[in-house]
Structure 1
Amino acid sequence: MGIVHALLPFAAAALLLLAAPPPATADDPGLAVYWGRHKEEGSLREACDTGRYTTVIITFYDVFGHGRYSLDISGHPLAAVGADIKHCQSRGITVLLSIGGQGGGYSLPTNASAADVADNLWNAYLGGHRAGVARPFGDDAAVDGIDFFIDQGGADHYDDLARRLNGYNKYYRGRVGVVLTATTRCSYPDHRLEKALATGVFARIHVRMFGDAQCTMSPRYSWEKWAAAFPGSKVYIGLVASPEQDSAWMFQKDLYYEMLQFVRSLPNYGGLAIYDRYFDKKANYTGQG
């Protein structure tokens, strides 16, 4: 049973919170999903065409910081992804590129390395174009922003990277064109991202309520610390879609009774961030039928 039907007996309001179809308005909660970890999850276009998600986060740009830059999306054809990005955006769905992940092929040892990575992200995946910089998704496909999913290495210079990426917004004629988000650990603070988040340039924070034994016993308390610390950012509840992934998986009714009924009224509650599309498709966790 999908998350919407599971919550109907418990609170009619939860239906609107969990199943708002894209495009979202400024007052709607979001439903984000991470895509790119399994070839069997289907295409990016298919994920967007479910009508479930307001944001799709492509994972991962996972080698950077030492003059090398590469993307791992589990064998999905890059040429098709470019067309799919434009299709998703035409439906009002935000498409982000997540940097980092669980691999160990990235770090920012110096301010210069942060500048190099910002330049590569801008010219390869965002709105820039520079001779000699390949655009893996094609010349006319650009993601809407960058998600910081920094799960390895030190904390140095991610603040420099965030400021530089945010600085590219000057090329968008007064509107924000590079959305910055962060996927953090549940326990507050996340020391790898603490300095970056202190810049104040992150529109959203996705708090992973999994993979962190320190907050398993009190997930709502941990999440509320994040929400209180960053009142100017939309704060999402990060969830795994299946018990196969992590013991912190929540039944839909537990999600409502333990979390949503308390936090959904907070002004900076942003919605749910589901890890990941493969398991959501397999378990139908956010499905409407």
Structure 2
Amino acid sequence: MISSLLFQILLILFTHLAFGFDLESKQNVALYWGQNSAGSQQSLGDYCESTDADIYLLSFLYQFPTIGLNFANACTQSFPDGLLHCSQIAQDIQKCQSLGKKVLLSLGGASGAYGFSDENSAKEFAHTLWNTFGEGTGATERPFDSAIVDGFDFDIENNNAVGYAALVNELRSLFATSSRQYFISAAPQCPYPDASVGDMLQNADVDFAFIQFYNNYCNVGSYFNWDTWQNYAQSVSPNKNIKLYLGLPGSATAASSGYISDLSLLEDTISKISSSGNFGGVAMWDASQAFSNQINGQSYVSHVKSILSNCIGGSTTTALTTTSSTTTSSTTSCSSTTTLSPPSSATSFFTTTSSSTTSSSTSSSAKVATTTSCTTSSSATVAATAVTSVAVGTLTTKFLTSATASPTVSVGTAHTDAKTTVLQNNPWTTTTTTATTTSTAQRTTLQPSAQPTTTASAALAEAVSLNALYAAGKYNGKETCTNGDIACSASGEFAICNFGTWVNMVCASGTTCFASESSDILTIGCNFASQKEKYIN
């Protein structure tokens, strides 16, 4: 009986080890939940039973500093003062956490009354969050009862960046008082820098960036700017280990643009960007869309999880050994082996074998030792398999400058090619990037920029002239356009010529499309609206 009970306990621990959230994994899937955007939303607990997602973001705390919550059909009960009291969500949070999922509370959203007038009010609100949803004890009303969220997500879309860096830094100081691990995430629009959370991303320790590559001109495609965000992670972010997530709609009805129905394109995209050490996985809006969207009898979120496994996969063998097991198995592999020995005198241990390039390391407390070698072992085991991989690459970049009058695409050939697309609108400076990599490569998209002028006044005059055309709805001022030409619409949308027709794309919140000048270079694209008046009469 004791042996059977011990085995069951270890099996539960093993399940969490094999399928629980792993911060360093590149195969994580994050889903927003709570707004029932597909009209078929299931309970949070039901979704968490699937192994296809690892992080759930409760959407939304849409009003603050005075707290207002909305979870569509998932919560209708409230406290006497009107604040939602979501006991079922509370139970589901604890269920999800027991299944190895992370559950964060998302603040903001596309609509809502939120924001701060100064940093002090933001710092005060950090304590409100901690007391109401964390381990604090100063709140009389807790919407999720005794359940504690694993952190907070900032989906701020109102173009007011005041206070969020101070809020996160204050939260970090509160997190430090606990032994529990908490996370901070942000959901910026793909145009960089984001008008709402850009300051927070530059001045606070953020764990995840769920970058919205939808409803923007920088969606996956010709203008995909993953490299810009990768540069941010390596050069700007206070957390150099920040994990970047490819943010996508969960179906065609989840967003006006950016949904990738072509699974081969999605796999190609992920294979290219996942070589980055900052890649963390895929985030989707939202759970109701991603689970109900069926392709060949399989949910979209399941396809995404499979693609992540395929793109980032090798083979992993995980074995659970107990003193009471009687079934033996033999495993031979050439990989990393990590052995965890409990600090107590327990009669069991875990051995995890996985593909890795990590060098030997040790850790105290749990007595973790990691070695890399080809080994053959035979032991009493309960075995399971999973999929992981390591993509290793080196990138060499060369730049050439020339004047040209047509779009240029150059491809550098190595084991895998990296493609650079340069957009031009007579005359442009053409920048050609040649990439050499040992395994995978990234697509690099450069922002269109004009040929340097002899004086800043000439570039400024050109920007003013173009903006006058845009305001009049004349795009580039010509009767026709050529593939690859870019301009702006009268309503401030970014415009691209596609087979002789202008295609408009909405800029991110807080930005608008216009021509501008910087360092004698003319630039056309989405930029902060507050900067536009310098380039109009």
TM range (shorter): 0.7 to 0.9
Give 2:244's aligned amino acid.
V
Encode CA deviations 1:174-195: one digit per residue, 9 max, x unaligned. x6x3210111101111121121
Q: Which residue of structure 1 aligns with residue 260 of structure 2?
A: 250
Q: Out of 144, 156, 159, which is 1:137 matched to? A: 144
Q: Which residue of structure 2 aligns with residue 69 of structure 1?
A: 67
Encode CA deviations 1:26-56: one digit per residue, 9 max, x unaligned. 3342111000011631000011012211101
Q: Out of 114, 119, 125, which is 2:122 matched to? A: 114
In the alignment, the residues of structure 1 paired with residue 300 and residue 137 of structure 2 have an alpha-carbon distance, to the nearest angstrom, of 39
After TM superposition, the structure 1 stretch with the greater mean CA deviation from structure 2, 228-237 or 54-63, is 228-237
Give 1:113's aligned amino acid.
S
Give 2:287's aligned amino acid.
R
Considering fraction of residues, name the structure with more helix: 1
Q: Out of 200, 204, 211, which is 1:207 matched to? A: 211
Q: Which residue of structure 2 aligns with residue 161 of structure 1?
A: 167
**Equivalent residues, number:** 261
Q: Which residue of structure 2 aligns with residue 266 of structure 1?
A: 276
After TM superposition, the structure 1 stretch with the greater mean CA deviation from structure 2, 89-98 or 225-234, is 225-234
Q: Specify every segment of 5 or more residues in structure 2 that has no aligned partner in the other structure, as ranges.
A: 1-17, 76-85, 235-239, 294-298, 307-537
After TM superposition, the structure 1 stretch with the greater mean CA deviation from structure 2, 47-56 or 113-122, is 113-122
Q: Out of 233, 240, 243, which is 2:249 matched to? A: 240
Match of 1:201, SS?
coil
Q: Which residue of structure 2 aligns with residue 151 of structure 1?
A: 157
Cα 1:27–1:277 change in 2 (3 A) is closer
Match of 1:186, SS?
coil
In the alignment, the residues of structure 1 paired with residue 19 and residue 157 of structure 2 have an alpha-carbon distance, to the nearest angstrom, of 29
| Cα shift at 1:146 | 0.4
In the alignment, the residues of structure 1 paired with residue 139 and residue 275 of structure 2 have an alpha-carbon distance, to the nearest angstrom, of 48
8 A Cα contact 1:150 1:193, kept in partner: yes
RCO comparison, higher one (Cα < 8 Å, 6+): 1
8 A Cα contact 2:155 2:187, kept in partner: yes
> Identity, % of aligned pairs?
27
Q: Which residue of structure 2 aligns with residue 180 of structure 1?
A: 184
After TM superposition, the structure 1 stretch with the greater mean CA deviation from structure 2, 72-81 or 89-98, is 72-81
Q: Out of 20, 34, 37, which is 1:36 matched to? A: 34
In the alignment, the residues of structure 2 paired with residue 215 and residue 131 of structure 1 have an alpha-carbon distance, to the nearest angstrom, of 42
Query: What is the TM-score normalised by the length of structure 1?
Result: 0.85
8 A Cα contact 1:104 1:153, kept in partner: no
8 A Cα contact 1:205 1:236, kept in partner: yes
| Cα shift at 1:214 | 4.8
| Cα shift at 1:104 | 3.1
Alignment pair present for 1:128 and 2:132: no
Match of 1:141, SS?
coil
Considering fraction of residues, name the structure with more strand: 2
Give 1:104's aligned amino acid.
G
| Cα shift at 1:112 | 2.8
Query: What is the TM-score normalised by the length of structure 2?
Result: 0.47
Cα 1:287–1:202 change in 2 (3 A) is same
8 A Cα contact 2:132 2:139, kept in partner: no
| Cα shift at 1:265 | 1.2
8 A Cα contact 2:26 2:279, kept in partner: no
Cα 1:34–1:114 change in 2 (3 A) is same
Alignment pair present for 1:83 and 2:87: no
Which is greater in Rg?
Answer: 2
8 A Cα contact 2:216 2:257, kept in partner: no
Encode CA deviations 1:111-151: one digit per residue, 9 max, x unaligned. 2320232121111111212153x11011x201000001001
In the alignment, the residues of structure 2 paired with residue 180 and residue 211 of structure 1 have an alpha-carbon distance, to the nearest angstrom, of 24
Q: Out of 258, 266, 285, which is 1:275 matched to? A: 285
In the alignment, the residues of structure 1 paired with residue 228 and residue 243 of structure 2 have an alpha-carbon distance, to the nearest angstrom, of 13
CA RMSD of aligned residues (A): 1.9
| Cα shift at 1:218 | 3.4
8 A Cα contact 2:21 2:102, kept in partner: no
Q: Specify every segment of 5 or more residues in structure 1 that has no aligned partner in the other structure, as ranges.
A: 1-20
| Cα shift at 1:71 | 0.9
Q: Which residue of structure 1 aligns with residue 100 of structure 2?
A: 92
Cα 1:120–1:278 change in 2 (3 A) is same
